[in-house]
Amino acid sequence: MSDIIVTNWFGDLVSHAQAVVEAASADDVVKVLKNPAQYPSPVRAVGSNHSTAPCAVVDGGTILKMSGMNKILDISNGTVTAEAGALYIDVAKELEKQNLQFYVNTEIGSLSVGSAACAGTKDSSMPGEYGQVGSYVTRIKMALPSGDFLEVTDDQPDLMQKVRSSYGTFGIVCEATFRVRPIQPMAVRHKTFKLDDFIQQLPALKAGGESLMFYVFPFDNLITVEFRKYDPTATGDPNRAVWPLRNYMWASAGPLVCANAGKDIPDKTVRYKVIDGFNALWRWKLENLIQSGNTVATDQIIRYPPVGGASRYTFSLWAFPEATYPAVLRACFQFCQQYYKQNGYRVDMLFVGYRVAKDQNSLLSYSWDGDVMTIDPVSTANPGWDQFLVAYNQFSSDQGGIPLFNQTYGITPAQAQKALGDRLTAFAAARKTYDPQGRLLNDYFRALLGN
């Protein structure tokens, strides 16, 4: 059989599959799993294939495309149930028609329900809430390699904890149920700090009763903080303009400007003056235009095109304990500036960060031990990006960082083991009980799990 080339959304991760199947039903999934002669191992399921790490890459195996399984099955009793291929933004828009919303309105609307149920996500936690989508999953139905179906609910907390971080290595998720809530007015504002001021004021910012997201500019020594909070006292019609403007600047204009600067301006000094100028404009818009006391949380979610185009971008993630974050952030600025001096490379967009609450709903949660803050480089994958990530990963690991298996490119088994320790060992052992033959285990997870 000849190779079938399948790439991720960005186009930088390539599978050489022997078979590609577009599933229309759970029975289609079972047929693939029970027929290894026609559909060789490993079998990896994909939704929009938006991951920045090779968790869905196969060489000689089978890609199971889930996008055809996109029905919303039920909205009732404070929950929504949908098939695995349904996109998060489509479900969110349907919820909005019933005056409902997800608890976590994560930016990437291309996230599929199946991935949300069993893989890592990120968003700055609203006060008293979690920042990971899977923490609000109450039921998962998946097809096991044996061909049997397994349904896991909150009544099985230990198993649910493992399945929420299974990344399709226990079974293929076919449908999932999420807790939802009534829509509440949400306020948003932005403020920019110099690094020293940010570190000095961080305790007060954390105590302020708002979620915290960061736009980080290591070469300007600046951090812009996005503050969000629900305000049930807000009246009048919500402002439906601020989030589309933010999303356009962030997901369309920003990557396009930076990519074109890299392509059209060979002189690095001039190129980065252009990019830094755009970042200054971006900060001004955040501080002066992306401000409102009454917005709709669902408007934060971005609908990306099915395939990354001229404005595509990629990213990576490391989370750090909240107590050490000020020192790590300062060290990160120094690391980036020194790396540029020594290697002539810098990230061509910016870094972002999220404050994510302690969360043990998933066994491999990056905030298992306590509240964390992340430092996430964002790039158009300008030349030198992959080499930078190797160095950045080691820096982050040395600083006590925790990666995310589907959003941290290039992590090593040693870095994963250092970050997750006994939890990773326990997860690997549990996984074998559901997939003893490694039917769902690609080379990436085989290495990380020590199989």
Q: What is the pLDDT of residues 171-208, one digit of tens each?
A: 999 999 999 999 999 999 999 999 999 999 999 999 99
d(CA 43, CA 145) in angstroms, rounded, equals 9
pLDDT of residue 45: 98
Please give the C-alpha separations between residue 382 and each of 312, 345, 386, in angstroms, as whole numbers.
12, 9, 9
Whole-number pLDDT of residue 218: 98
CA distance 445 to 451: 8
Asked whether 52 and 7 are in contact (CB, 8 A), the reply is: no
Check pLDDT > 60 for residue 103.
yes
Render pLDDT for 286-334 as a digit per residue (tens, 0 to 9).
999 999 999 999 999 999 999 999 999 999 999 999 999 999 999 999 9
> What are the structure tokens assigned to 258, written together?
């930076």
Whether residue 42 is preceded by a cis peptide bond, meaning omega within 30 degrees of 0, is: yes
The string of pLDDT tens digits covering residues 207-218 is 999 999 999 999
Which DSSP string corresponds to 133-164?
GGGGEEEEEEE-TTS-EEEEETTSHHHHHHHT
| Residue 29: both structure tokens together | 């999934």
State which amino acid sits at residue 191. Answer: K
pLDDT greater than 70 at residue 1: no
Q: Which residue reads 């191992």 in tokens?
A: 41
Give residue 275's pLDDT.
97
3-state SS assignment for residue 36: coil
Q: In this structure, what are the phi and psi dihedrals at residue 443, rounded to the nearest 5 degrees?
A: -60, -35
User: What pLDDT was estimated at residue 400?
Assistant: 98
Dihedral, 201, 203, 207, 212 alpha carbons, nearest 10: 70
Question: If you search the block for the tokens 């076919």, which residue do you land on?
Answer: 174
Residues in the chain: 451
Average pLDDT (230-256) is 96
Among the listed ranges 1-10, 92-101, 210-219, 391-400, which one has the minimum average pLDDT value?
A: 1-10
Three-class SS state of 421: coil
Contact 406, 119 (CB under 8 A): yes
pLDDT grade for 363, boundaries at 50, 70 and 90: very high
Delineate the domains of the chain, giving CATH numbers in brackets. Answer: 4-65 (3.30.43.10), 72-183 (3.30.465.10), 186-411 (3.40.462.10)
14: its two tokens: 């390539």
Q: pTM (2 decimals)?
A: 0.97
Distance between CA atoms of 119 and 55, rounded to whole angstroms? 10
Provide the pLDDT for residue 237.
96
Q: How far, in Å, CA of 79 to CA of 102, rounded?
A: 9
CB 406 within 8 Å of CB 8? no
Instruction: Note the Cα 178 to chain centre separation in Å.
Output: 17
For strand 43-46 and strand 62-65, is the pairing parallel, antiparallel, or unpaired?
parallel
Q: Which among 242, 276, 269, 393 has a CA at the least distance from the CA of 332?
A: 393
The two three-digit tokens of residue 435, written as one number: 């997939």
Across the chain, mean pLDDT equals 97
Backbone phi, then psi, for 45, in 5-degree steps?
Answer: -90, 140
What Rg do the C-alpha atoms of the chain give, in angstroms?
21
**C-beta of residue 167 within 8 angstroms of C-beta of residue 445:** yes
- Does residue 451 carry a pLDDT above 90? no
Which phi and psi (to 5°) does residue 296 adopt?
-105, 125
Q: What is the mean predicted confidence (pLDDT) over 132-151?
A: 98
Listed in sequence order, the residues at least 6 apart from 99 whose beta carbon sits closer than 8 Å to its beta carbon are 182, 183
Residue 56: what residue type?
A
Q: Is the pLDDT of residue 20 over 60?
A: yes
Token pair for residue 148? 């049997």
| Cα 144 to the center of its chain, rounded Å | 25
For residue 307, the one-letter residue type is V
Query: What contacts 388, CB < 8 A, 6 or more positions away?
Result: 339, 343, 345, 347, 377
Helix, strand or coil, per DSSP, at residue 385: helix
Which pLDDT belongs to residue 2? 64
CA distance 297 to 243: 9
Determine the pLDDT at residue 126.
97
Burial class (CB in 10 A: 0-12, 13-18, 19+), 421: exposed
